């Protein structure tokens, strides 16, 4: 899935977002593009769970594409 994620500005943000999604699935594939404010993720979770996990870390997110 491709998510548009707010409030990301540094490597700490990348780590926090990655940790939040891997808490849902330790094997999740997570790619963060700080410049675009996008996160591409796949794993054993759905978009709602991913968005909720990111919101809990103060990174509001919206689903851009449910690809893959």
pTM for the full model?
A: 0.93
Quick one: tokens of 11? 């490597």
Q: Tell me: the pLDDT tens digits for 3-60?
A: 999 999 999 999 999 999 999 999 999 999 999 999 999 999 999 999 999 999 999 9
Count how many Cα atoms sit within 13 Å of the Cα of residue 56 in the half-sphere of its side chain. 12
């Amino acid at each position: 899935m491709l998510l548009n994620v707010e409030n990301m500005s540094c490597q700490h943000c990348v780590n926090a977002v990655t940790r939040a999604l891997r808490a849902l699935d330790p094997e999740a594939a997570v790619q963060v593009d700080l410049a675009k404010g996008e996160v591409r993720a796949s794993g054993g979770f759905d978009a709602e769970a991913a968005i909720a996990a990111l919101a809990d870390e103060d990174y509001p997110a919206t689903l851009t594409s449910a690809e893959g």
